[in-house]
Structure formats: structure tokens, C-alpha cells
A = this chain, B = another copy of it.
Amino acid sequence: MSEERQALVRGATRFIAIVGDPISQVLSPEIYNPRLVKANALLLPLHVPSSTFETVMPSLRRIANLAGLVFTVPFKERAIPFADEVLPAGRQIGAINAMRPGADGRWTADMFDGTGLVRALERLDATPAGRRVLLIGAGGAGRAIAIALARARASALTIFDVDQGKLKRLADDVRRFYPTCAITTPERVDAARHDIVINATPVGMTAGDGFPAPLGALDSATVVFDIVPTPTMTPLMAHAAAAGCRTGGGRLMIESQAEAVLEFLGFVSSAPSYAHHAK
């Protein structure tokens, strides 16, 4: 740990709480805290048992040196009623992951899970605007990413999921909110017809996992992104790299998301520039 890694806690230190159940698995403290050193602030994990979340939340909001709240599983949907205002992405997704206090005591919330991915794509010189994107997975992460891609003016979005109910609901919502984004939900997908391919499922996290779906041949011009944070090289990413594609992974998404959340909470990120993750 170098001097730059984390602020020394003092009486005047403010904190951001990341709230989840369980919480010990989160990587956020190590990602956020180096960026909070200069602001004399700290991200602290709070393990709030799921059964007590609704009881605890109003009290957390009252802590005067709490500079923000970050939510992880299983609270991203359940946190919504505790915000005084939810910004458009959060409302459309139906989930939030960050909440900030205003000077008037009101709390404003938004969702940055998809924003993190869009920012990560920008770092890979693959800004979604005008691109055709193939998204594998219509669960919580996939939903946040689909809305964020449509907000970022992707021209076409192909969504694949084995859960037809989730898939239909997400496709309908994106069509409704972003009618200019062409949504398709084929039963078989072909990566070759897309500029960007994204895995938003957990497939690739466990040893022996293959690809999240049969994708067909990869064009070297296609950018392939896998949100799985570990391992850093999933089977899909290895396959894409072998095909000459630029690739991005979960760690880059988490870092990009942290930057977006810290901006939202009023902290200017002071992190050094990223290592370039593109291949």
C-alpha cells in the first residue's frame, strides 16, 4: 500500500457506503479509495442483512458525513423507494446503484452499471453511437447495459437470452424508451453482423465454462467485451483475441463505472490514467 492508495481516516473524513448482503466479495473499496484520497473520503463496505434493509435505509440517510450510497446485490431494485428522485436511466432500468445527498436533504439516485460499460467501450475506441451491438444476457446486468447502449444511441441492438420472459420484457422496454434503436431478439445469433459483442451473463466465470452462446465466426473489426471480472481472460475473450478483435473485461467496466459514480457523487476522479486494456 503506497501513500496514494487510501486516505488516512480523520475526524472530518466523509464516507461513501457500499451496501450489500453479502458484502465481503466486493472489489469496490480497492477501486474507489485511491480516487478518494485527496477528498479526505473513503468507501466503506456496509453489510446490511437483507431482512433489515428497509428498516436501516432511512437511518443511513440521516448520517451527516455520509457522502453517498452505492448499492450492490440484492438491493439495486429495493433501494429505489428511498430516493427522493430517480434519474431517467435508473427509472427505465428499474434499479439504481448510487444515491447522493443534496444540500436540501433530498437524495437523488441513478444507475451506472450500464454507464460503466458504455464508458469502457469509449476507452476501447468503440463508442456505441451508430453501432450494431450484440448483447448476450437480459438479466440485471444485461438490462442496465441494454438501456445504457440505447441511451448512447446504438443504432441496432440484438439481444439474446434463454429466458424468453426477461428477454421480451427488456426488448419491449428498450423499444418503448428508445424507438429509434432497432431491437431484435433472434433465437440464434451471429456475431459477424455486429460491431460490438457483449457478454452480460456470468458464463466464463467458472473454470470449464465455454462461450455464453454460439456466436458464429468473429470478424477482427468486432470489439468483444466480457463483463465477467474474474478470470481476466475468459474463454470468449481468448477466442476474440485469437481472432484479432479488440477486447475488454469486467475490471475495465468496474473502473469506468467507479469514475462515473464518483462524478455523480461530486468527487472528481483523481486516478492516474488507465493502462490501455485494448488488444
Contact = CB atoms under 8 A, between A and B. Distances in A.
A23 B49 CA distance: 27
A52 B62 contact: yes
A25 B13 CA distance: 11
A15 interface: yes
Given A8-B30, A30-B10, A55 B46 contact: no
Contacts of A59: 52, 55-56, 58-60
Interface string A17-60: 00001011111111001000000001111111100100110111
Interface string A77-96: 00000000000000000000
A9 interface: yes
A11 interface: yes
Contact of A63 (B24, B47, B65): B47
Contacts of A45: 9-13, 65
A32 to B, nearest CB: 9
Interface of A: 1, 3, 5-6, 8-13, 15, 21, 23-30, 33, 42-49, 52, 55-56, 58-60, 62-65
10 nearest A-B residue pairs (beta carbon): A59-B59, A12-B24, A47-B64, A47-B65, A11-B26, A9-B29, A56-B59, A52-B62, A11-B24, A1-B8
19 contacts: A1-B3, A6-B8, A8-B30, A10-B30, A11-B25, A11-B26, A11-B27, A11-B45, A12-B45, A15-B44, A21-B64, A42-B44, A45-B65, A48-B62, A49-B64, A52-B62, A55-B62, A56-B62, A59-B59
